[in-house]
Structure 1
Amino acid sequence: MSKLSDAVKALINAGHAKPGYTRASADVQPALINFASSAKEKKVGLPAWVTLSTAVSATLNCPEAMTSIFHLANSSDSQRAPVQNAELIREVGLKCISFNGIPRSINTLGAFYGSLPSDVASSLSTATTREYTAANVEARKKDGLALWDQVYLGFERKLLDKLAQSHPDLPVHIINGHYGNLLSDPRGKKTGANVGRVLTSLVAIACLRSQTGVGPQVTSHVFGLRKAYENGDAHAEGQEPVEGGEWLASNDGNIWMLENIDKLVNVICCGEGTTFAPGMRAKL
């Protein structure tokens, strides 16, 4: 196999191209503590604030923040085992793929796993739950379309038609590849963590808000969160109650959520704006 020249390697790893992780500054831990404290005051439970802060951290390519979230979660609720918190964080990181793309989830989940205590890492589930088989493929596609319909109720078919105008396979991939096989939880899943209907909306909102530039999608998923409660999806069979979820779906909850996402973005990125798609730094 051919080798990259030193010049090519240097260009790939040039500082202006930001080739590595976003490092967590000393201000990140206090910001996360403040976020968790504010969530507690608003009666927003641990799964919700861990989901929001993890999705922000994954979007910004900051696995060190994810590790801080893990330790903060462990110290915040002694009733939850550390492995539960680790499973939740990595399931959120997986679902971030649907909004951020694959590379950041690969990198942040790998670094997060490497940061875990050995006893926690060795206790994480190793069973796959999303493999398509001849026996489950139609059910998974059906579940994906059902989740899509819940999120976009009132516009669900019109939006699919509009997406198909952009590319005929766009709605096919969105429904089957994301809503069916990733964003909806596999039926009968018994291992790892379940990030259900409400928490999945929180993942979407946190990722998209942290990216910037996708206001229409943020709006859609804020409405999607509201519809989870308005139409009863949040309380459907198999859905775990999310403490504070209904308040987060209100106007006051929306404002609190968006403002706190912005605060975390500002701290993780040291006030320089999102790392998701800001363009390259000017060469010095």
Structure 2
Amino acid sequence: MKGEAKLPLHQEQQKPDATKSSASSPSTSTSTGDKRRRRRNMSKLSPGLKALINAPFARPGPCKVVKGAAVVGDLFRGIAKEARGRGVGNRAWLAISAAATFTLNSPDALSILHGIAAAERGGSQTAQVRTAEFIREVGLKCISFNGIPRTINCLNAFHASLPRDITSKLTTEPSRTLKADNVEAVKARGRGLWDSIYAPFEDKLVDKLGTSHPDLPVVILNCHYGPLLSDPDGRRGVGRVMTSLVAVASLRAQTGVGPQVLSHVFGLRKAVDDGSFRDDLVVEDGGEEERESEEGVKWLAGDEGGEWMLKTVDRIVEGLGGSNFAAKL
């Protein structure tokens, strides 16, 4: 209209729409407030839910050394002495003892075990570091038999129990990272370990697992046997024989999985049959205290050694208060 003042164009475009503003503002404010309240509510648990999570009957915490450190220490010293008397080396009895202890979820006992095993190796700082590294590798491999949570909790507590002059010398570089240029080699390495353990039924077993679920053999071979249970190239690992000892000890300690215990008892024997056990006899840069004897490994793989191994795990289970993994009958 004539004489009516007009706003400049840029001011007209910025002029607020009163209708829109009044209609949308309360809704937006309410929506934002609701989201904040929901976030606050979801970040808190009710006392009842927290109490149920931590209920004693659910055993929410780690296994405590109820019989006392001295008793558990005597248990591990006795195992070490028996192993020596049978020509079994330090790494073998330590692999069995550590795997059973990880399975029982007892970081306190791991700390005791480390002290005794390091003393058996001479007690030097180097011995303490190498013992800690070995226990950590055993714990990592226990993931394939016990699951991730127990290994996480035990390794965290074990690391915290070690003195600074030891932890400062532990390996910090990962050795199992999958890359485009090593995936096939890792898969082949895992399949090689699988074939060594389960021959002559290695292919038949893969087919049977695939019948249960098509991805079951894929996960077992490519997520466990490849990157975890077989040792990374260029790294001093647990070894073929020790991996079988870890498997037997873990499965025996958790109870309820007799068929798998049987499979890995035979898997230990296969390491002797195919000669792969010889790679475990001498440790690179390791002293005499880390050497395994051929006679000792062959004894462990035989009937008498197999019985000693299972009874040793049973003693550890009893010494730490009984199995807390599978349901009791």
Query: Which category describes the TM-score, using the shorter chain as reference length?
Result: over 0.9
Any stretches of 5+ residues in structure 1 without a counterpart?
Answer: 280-284
Deviation at 1:41, TM superposition (A): 1.1
Q: Which one of 293, 299, 304 corresponds to residue 247 of structure 1?
A: 299
| Corresponding letter in the other structure for 1:10 | A
The whole-number CA distance in structure 2 between the counterparts of 1:117 and 1:72 is 15
Deviation at 1:239, TM superposition (A): 7.3
Higher Rg: 2
The whole-number CA distance in structure 2 between the counterparts of 1:238 and 1:226 is 15
Deviation at 1:187, TM superposition (A): 1.2
Spell out the pairing of 1:74-223 with structure 2 (5 A cutoff): 74-78=118-122, 81-189=127-235, 193-223=236-266
Root-mean-square deviation (CA, aligned residues, Å) is 1.7
Structure 1 SS opposite 2:87: coil
Q: Which one of 51, 57, 60 corresponds to residue 19 of structure 1?
A: 60
Q: Does 1:275 align with 2:316?
A: no
Q: 1:104 to 1:118 in 2, by over 3 A?
A: same
The whole-number CA distance in structure 2 between the counterparts of 1:246 and 1:72 is 25
- Identical aligned pairs, as a percentage? 51
Deviation at 1:242, TM superposition (A): 3.1
| Corresponding letter in the other structure for 1:22 | C
Q: 1:211 to 1:188 in 2, by over 3 A?
A: same
Structure 2 SS opposite 1:135: coil
The whole-number CA distance in structure 1 between the counterparts of 2:116 and 2:48 is 42
Q: Give the conservation status (yes or no) of the 8 Å contact 1:197–1:239.
A: no
Q: Give the conservation status (yes or no) of the 8 Å contact 1:32–1:69.
A: yes
Q: 1:237 to 1:107 in 2, by over 3 A?
A: closer
Higher helix share: 2
Q: Which has the higher contact order (CA 8 A, sep 6+)?
A: 1
Q: 1:88 to 1:236 in 2, by over 3 A?
A: closer
Q: Give the conservation status (yes or no) of the 8 Å contact 2:79–2:312.
A: yes
The whole-number CA distance in structure 1 between the counterparts of 2:61 and 2:280 is 42
Deviation at 1:36, TM superposition (A): 1.1
Deviates more, 1:142-151 or 1:229-238: 229-238
Q: Give the conservation status (yes or no) of the 8 Å contact 2:240–2:280.
A: no
Deviation at 1:203, TM superposition (A): 0.3
Spell out the pairing of 1:65-76 with structure 2 (5 A cutoff): 65-76=109-120
Which digits, 9 at most, give the CA deviation of each residue in 1:201-260, with x for residues without a partner? 000000000011111100110000001011111125997463322210011110111111
The whole-number CA distance in structure 1 between the counterparts of 2:279 and 2:163 is 36
| Corresponding letter in the other structure for 1:38 | E
Alignment size in residue pairs: 274
| Corresponding letter in the other structure for 1:268 | L
| Corresponding letter in the other structure for 1:57 | T
